[in-house]
Amino acid sequence: MLKIVNVVGARPNFVKVAPLVEAMKRREREFTPLVVHTGQHYDPMMSYAFLRDLDLPQPDVCLEVGSASQAAQTAAIMQKFEPVVLSEKPDWVVVVGDVNSTLACALVAVKLGVKVAHVEAGLRSRDRTMPEEINRLLTDQIADLLFTPSKDADENLREEGIPEERIRLVGNIMIDSLFKHLELAKSSKIKEEVGVANTRYAVLTLHRPANVDERETFSAILEALAEIARCLPIIFPVHPRTRKTIEELGLGKRIESISGLRLIEPLGYLDFLGLFSAAKLVLTDSGGLQEETTALGIPCLTLRENTERPITVELGTNIVVGTDPQRITSAALAALEGSAAGGIPRPLLPLWDGHSAERIVEELAKTSG
């Protein structure tokens, strides 16, 4: 019997851990899965909504670390996670994604001699100013097993000198949750609630410090959104951090002046999936949404200068447009013109088939045998 500690630190981690825990529970004679929530990004209402939507039980351990600077938060996670590992004595610690909890918990486990598996390994933006890039690089160097979503991630790891025997191409774990919940999400009433049930619309997410902490950058993005909103409404579930910076930067009135930009509260997983899966266009600075829109064939504009998911750009579903208003506007109008018939052909990606969790669990069993 393998005891596996699965770490979640932020809401996107729930989407990746849920199918893993489910796959382990189907093999209950082989696996005992535990979920540790570090509380890196903790919102009681949102966490509960994600647990409910993804059929995840309450976490076995909640560390309640909370927000802090990069160094303080990483250190706090390590301090609180170490006693958990010492007490539970797991066979594996599974970390996902690229948040501070990913690196912090991997470091603790490795130093205690516990094997680490990194799900979503090998992604690279080549931008070391992003804290997430540092977390990805370091976690991949110390993890025992690296579960990758696509071949370009394998190539990145090989170039960094990672031994072949540590690399496993398993596909995209987020797509497991996407495909499982898509039909259920379509029954969500969110489109009616925000007034876009019978019209074309776009969806926006915006939360990265580089975009929302500087007034000049945020204002440039708003300039583009004002133009796009002349063509169709833009639904904007506002991250708590972004709402705070809107107030601090004094951008509230500017946003209110954009009649087609509709700010709403953050959504649970099913409501958000129901919303963006029917959109004609998605604008985002997040990572996972680039992959989800690719799987569904929805045009996506990434409001960053780079992406750690270049496969989405190669397939033509995602365009990296940065924060220049003209680039954003022209790309959006071109995408809308091309998606008038309801989207672009859904690309077929190897192993993005909804069964990545099963492959990961099988590899953990084989490697531990």
CA angle 275, 278, 283 (to 5 degrees): 70
Q: Give the start-to-end residue ranges of the domains of the chain.
A: 2-172+352-368, 184-338
Kindly state the DSSP code that residue 239 receives in the 8-state scheme.
P
What are 351's two structure tokens? 């192993």
pLDDT at 50: 78
pLDDT at 341: 45
pLDDT at 345: 64
Distance CA 82, CA 240 (A): 29
**Do 2-172+352-368 and 184-338 share a fold?**
yes
pLDDT at 120: 98
Packing angle, helices 356-368 and 173-186, rounded to 10: 140
Residues 96/99/100/102 CA torsion (nearest 10 deg):
10
Distance CA 252, CA 250 (A): 6
**3-state DSSP call for residue 369?**
coil
Per-residue pLDDT tens digits for 15-43: 999 999 999 999 999 999 999 999 987 66
Over 340-355, what HEC string results?
Answer: CCCCCCCCCCCCCCCC
What are 2's two structure tokens? 């393998």
Distance CA 48, CA 80 (A): 22
3 phi and psi, to 5 degrees?
Answer: -95, 120
Per-residue pLDDT tens digits for 102-133: 999 999 999 999 999 999 999 999 999 999 99
Specify the CATH class of 184-338 in words.
Answer: alpha beta
The topology (CATH level 3) of 2-172+352-368 is: Rossmann fold (3.40.50)
pLDDT at 340: 47
What does pTM read for this prediction? 0.93
Kindly state the DSSP code that residue 280 receives in the 8-state scheme.
S
118 is catalytic: no
pLDDT at 47: 67
Cβ atoms < 10 Å from Cβ of 134: 15
**3-state DSSP call for residue 245?**
helix
Distance CA 20, CA 119 (A): 10
Packing angle, helices 70-88 and 100-111, rounded to 10: 40
What are 233's two structure tokens? 């409404």
**3-state DSSP call for residue 234?**
strand
DSSP letter for each residue of 194-225: TT-TTS--EEE----HHHHSSHHHHHHHHHHH
Per-residue pLDDT tens digits for 282-297: 999 999 999 999 999 9
Q: What CA–CA distances, in Å, run from 305 to 70, 202, 310? A: 22, 21, 12
Residue segments in the chain with a per-residue pLDDT below the cut of 50: 340-342
Which residue out of 37, 41, 207, 355 is catalytically annotated? 207
Distance CA 157, CA 142 (A): 12
Q: Do 133 and 100 touch, CB atoms closer than 8 A?
A: no
Using alpha carbons, select from 318, 264, 324, 272 the residue that is nearest to residue 295. 318
